[in-house]
Amino acid sequence: MLRSLALILLLLTFRLPSLGQESYAKVAELTFDSSSEAQIWESKSPQMDPFELFTAVHAHEYLGSDSWNDLVALLDSKFEKKGKSENFIRYIFEKSHQKLFKTYEQHATFNQMLSEGKFDCVSGSATLGMLLTRYGFSHDIIETDYHVFIMVDLDEAPIILESTLKIGGMITKSSEVDKYIQAYLPEEKGNYLNLNQRIGSPDVLESEKTIFRKVNLHQLAGLQYYNDAIMHFNQQAYRVAASQLEKAHQLYQSERIEGLKDLAVDQAYKSIGVDLKK
């Protein structure tokens, strides 16, 4: 167990830094899909509740937080009895699946999860990350090339929370934690990721293991915008893609976001003659 924790801490401290700080640009410089999204961004600050940011993508689809509030009320009650324990982490994981994680659908948004129960690794990890924060658990959100998962530090014992697996998604055994992490660690021979492939798949391709780093909840909200931008990019809606990527970049100054934003701007000029740099 100690060997596993030492390995993880070494990786996160020396090899896997988060990139930059969040940048809070003028709202007037951004383009929004709806007045609801604009209102969220107008109130955005470094201290803003991440929940609001996760509802910003396709904000017109947000139908309320009843399902979220029901889950939180249930957890609050149980936390008074169980406290900060492995059993309570398991309770968070199991109840999240029962109440919110109904159907895995790659690239489902946070709002789809709230209203329809559709989720992926981004919305699932966002949920678990916010709940772990609420109850004071030390944890990291780990970004890889095409997947996101949670690593909890409980009494110096790492626990993996793989949101996309209802059965077996909470990994506590030291050897299994090591095995899981090793599957995602970057390879020196790995090719750089495909910029227009969205995050959401737990499958690991040996040739595409280049990213393994911590992100915070605001940065994860940026990756949700990135996923949405890729959908528009692949539909050749480059202007919309660039707009979504600008918002993603304000939340997370990542090389993958910046690279795709530059590509979207370039494709907009080449395909429709629009200079988005102006």
Q: Which residues lie across from 103 on neighbouring strands?
A: 118
* 116 Cα distance to chain centroid: 19
Please check whether residue 99 is in contact with residue 67, taking contact to mean a CB–CB distance below 8 angstroms.
yes
What CATH number matches the domain at 2-218, 3.30.2450, 3.40.1720, 3.10.620, 1.10.10?
3.10.620
Structure tokens at 198: 């969205």
Q: Of all residues in the chain, what percent are helix, strand and coil, respectively (each to 5)?
A: 55, 10, 35
Distances, alpha carbon 84 to alpha carbons 59, 79, 98, in Å: 34, 8, 21
Distances (CA, A) of 101 to 70, 96, 115, 241: 14, 6, 11, 27
Residues recorded for the chain: 278
Say what the pTM is.
Answer: 0.85
278 residues of the chain, pLDDT tens digit each: 433 444 444 445 434 333 334 444 455 578 899 999 999 998 877 667 899 999 999 998 888 899 999 999 999 999 988 899 999 999 999 999 999 999 999 889 999 999 999 999 999 999 999 999 999 999 999 999 989 999 999 988 899 999 999 999 999 999 999 999 999 998 765 555 555 554 555 555 555 688 999 999 999 999 999 999 999 999 999 989 999 999 999 999 999 999 998 898 888 777 766 656 65
What tokens does 209 get? Answer: 């293991």
Q: Please say whether the beta carbons of 180 and 186 come within 8 A.
A: no
Q: Report domain extents, the chain.
A: 2-218
